[in-house]
A and B are shown apart, each in its own frame.
Chain A
Amino acid sequence: DAGVTQSPTHLIKTRGQHVTLRCSPISGHKSVSWYQQVLGQGPQFIFQYYEKEERGRGNFPDRFSARQFPNYSSELNVNALLLGDSALYLCASSWGLAGGPRGKFFGPGTRLTVL
């Protein structure tokens, strides 16, 4: 079975632009979470979606938004990009809200560079 997939792998944008990152969860998983990982730090929680509804939001500005589609895939949108948005964006999926005994399954991430 395919794991969590994310696209694109890498992305370079300039300040003020908008970006859309995509995530496909493991088949059968209904929950998708997004994390931002700045170089040298641990991942920080941005959003969690379950059954197409937002179930949690981290301490990020309104420039960050997300949605989940009927097939449980998800998009993360970031508007008005800042240099500080440069990071690895990770998507994680799980069957339910909780990760269960096997935790959450992470995708390989999208490396966003803002110039």
Chain B
Amino acid sequence: SQQGEEDPQALSIQEGENATMNCSYKTSINNLQWYRQNSGRGLVHLILIRSNEREKHSGRLRVTLDTSKKSSSLLITASRAADTASYFCATSQGGSEKLVFGKGTKLTVNP
């Protein structure tokens, strides 16, 4: 079953704009990760935020985590056409290292 739910399901923006994607999950977590997937191929890890962290930055990426609301957001600033992809949040819980993915947000950045 899916743990996370991304919102929106699809997002279309112009190059240079910021893109924000949200993720909600159901159970307590060890960490939350964001992955990117291009054209239905392999996933690429973007960023990991631990349950005791509230915000993390990596290049043009900013991730926030609110464990009280069981939610996270991914912000991509100054988007580029190459950012066009599907973005998934994934959580790991308890003693298990399996990742539980959401359904993803499909981002389209128009040149």
* Residues of chain A at the chain B interface (Cβ within 8 Å): 4, 31, 33, 35, 37, 39-45, 48, 55-56, 58-59, 88, 90, 92, 97-99, 101-109, 111
* Residues of chain B at the chain A interface (Cβ within 8 Å): 1-2, 4, 33, 35, 40-45, 48, 88, 90, 92, 96-104
Q: Smallest Cβ distance from B88 to chain A, in angstroms?
A: 5
Q: Which residue of A lies closest to B41 (CB)?
A: A108
Interface contact B1-A56, CB-CB below 8 Å = no
A104 and B45 contact, Cβ closer than 8 Å, known pairs A48-B97, A56-B98, A59-B1 = yes
A33→B100 CA distance, assembly (Å)? 12
Chain B residue numbers with a CB within 8 Å of A103 are: 33, 35, 45, 48
Most B CB contacts (10 A, CB to CB) among A41, A43, A45, A99 go to A43
Q: Smallest Cβ distance from B77 to chain A, in angstroms?
A: 21
Chain B residue numbers with a CB within 8 Å of A111 are: 40
Chain B residue numbers with a CB within 8 Å of A4 are: 42
Most B CB contacts (10 A, CB to CB) among A4, A56, A99 go to A99
Interface contact B43-A43, CB-CB below 8 Å = yes
Q: Which residue of A lies closest to B89 (CB)?
A: A42
B100 touches which one: A40, A45, A101, A108 (CB < 8 A)? Answer: A45
A90→B42 CA distance, assembly (Å)? 7
Interface contact B98-A90, CB-CB below 8 Å = no
Interface contact A106-B43, CB-CB below 8 Å = yes
Interface contact B99-A104, CB-CB below 8 Å = yes
Chain A residue numbers with a CB within 8 Å of B88 are: 42-43
Q: Smallest Cβ distance from A30 to chain B, in angstroms?
A: 12
A44 touches which one: B45, B92, B101 (CB < 8 A)? Answer: B101
A58→B4 CA distance, assembly (Å)? 16
A108 and B42 contact, Cβ closer than 8 Å, known pairs A42-B88, A45-B98, A103-B35 = yes
| Cβ contacts A to B, 10 pairs, < 8 Å | A4-B42, A40-B103, A41-B2, A42-B102, A44-B2, A48-B98, A88-B40, A104-B45, A105-B45, A106-B42
Interface contact B45-A42, CB-CB below 8 Å = no
A39→B92 CA distance, assembly (Å)? 23
